[in-house]
Amino acid sequence: MNATRWVFVSMLPVVIACHAQASSAPDAGTDAGADAGAGTTPVFGTPERLTITGWDSDAMEPFISADEQLLLFNDSNSGPDTELHWARRTGPTTFAHQGLLAGANSTKLDGVPSLSDDGTLAFVSTRSYDQTASTLYRGHFDADGGVSLVELIPGVSRNTPGIVEFDLELSRDGATLIYVVSQFTGGKPSTADLFLADRDGQGFTPRADSATLLAAVNTDALEYAPALSRDGLELYFTRVESTAVGAPPRILVSTRASVTAPFGAAQVLPTITGFVEGPTISSDGRTLYFHKHDADHFAIYRALRQGL
């Protein structure tokens, strides 16, 4: 089985890719783009696979809580009913499965969780796409794994059939939303770029300077699965060149010297190899989590930052 991730949305003649099918990936090193204001590129060691006791199926799209005690993830997004899960840490690379995120899941695709310090859970769901052409949701997460007050995130969706926001991450302080906007053509994403939005009352407003801040990150390739460091100076994401079968996607990082500067030229993380996607960085910046395709299923890995 390859790593295609297509989910049909009701009777629409469009499919949503929670993450893109692999194609030819860029070589390790620097990608084209301006690097003005870039900071120091982080270096990570050899990845370690996580064990989630009580769960032996696919684990994808990880997000780690600020204290690194809770791991949020979704199961396989190759079918029509992807669900959100959570696990509790029991050791350096071990977690115990706690079950589904009660209240967050529907009968459609629910995935890509992230959690702000105030307990706001942001995630992607296709539950209302055929009515709203929107996929970005939020709810309130409690310590027992329950999620309440689930609703669409106001202000960011383009509400246009064929345009899909299929990835997001909410910043730790809840003030910034970074998300993916994709144009679908012939049932596949022909574009996928990252966008920034700021908290505006109860909703979010897309930043007018988003294109400028991300000019060195967004390319003609597909950029998705974004993750911001707590200080906003590092942006991790996944890139593939197209949706044709080929080499696996790669995880890259772009840095900047201040929160008002554009992100610099993206660098491939050379120690993170294979079919890898969905990076997220711990609150202290010391550990990168991501998922990787191992043999016949996906597992979550971590890589420790060097030099800190």
pLDDT for the residue 18: 43
pLDDT tens per residue across span 19-76: 544 333 334 344 444 455 577 889 999 999 999 999 999 999 999 999 999 999 999 9
Q: How far apart, in whole angstroms, are the C-alpha atoms of residue 35 and residue 19?
A: 27
pLDDT tens per residue across span 157-212: 999 999 999 999 999 999 999 999 999 887 778 899 999 999 999 999 999 999 99
pLDDT for the residue 78: 82
166-186: buried (b, 16+ CB within 10 Å) or exposed (e) per residue?
Answer: bbbbbbbebebbbbbbbebee
Compare 286 and 7 and report the one with higher pLDDT.
Answer: 286
- Give the residue-averaged pLDDT of 256-260: 95
Q: How far apart, in whole angstroms, are the C-alpha atoms of residue 163 and residue 28?
A: 31
Per-residue pLDDT at 126 exceeds 50 = yes
Q: What angle do CA 173, 175, 180 make, to 5 degrees?
A: 110
Phi, psi of 41 (to 5 degrees): -75, 125
Per-residue pLDDT at 122 exceeds 60 = yes
Q: What share of the chain is helix, strand, coil (3-state, %, to 5)?
A: 5, 45, 50
CATH class of the domain at 6-303: mainly beta
DSSP 8-state symbol, 42: P
Per-residue pLDDT at 308 exceeds 90 = no
pLDDT tens per residue across span 64-110: 999 999 999 999 988 779 999 999 999 999 999 999 999 999 999 99
Structure tokens at 23: 């194609």
Q: Where are the domains of the chain?
A: 6-303
The C-alpha R_g of the chain, in whole angstroms, comes to: 17
pTM of the model: 0.89
Per-residue pLDDT at 10 exceeds 50 = no
Structure tokens at 236: 């991790």
List of residues 6+ apart from 307 with CB closer than 8 A: 43
Q: How many Cβ atoms sit within 10 Å of the Cβ of residue 112? A: 33
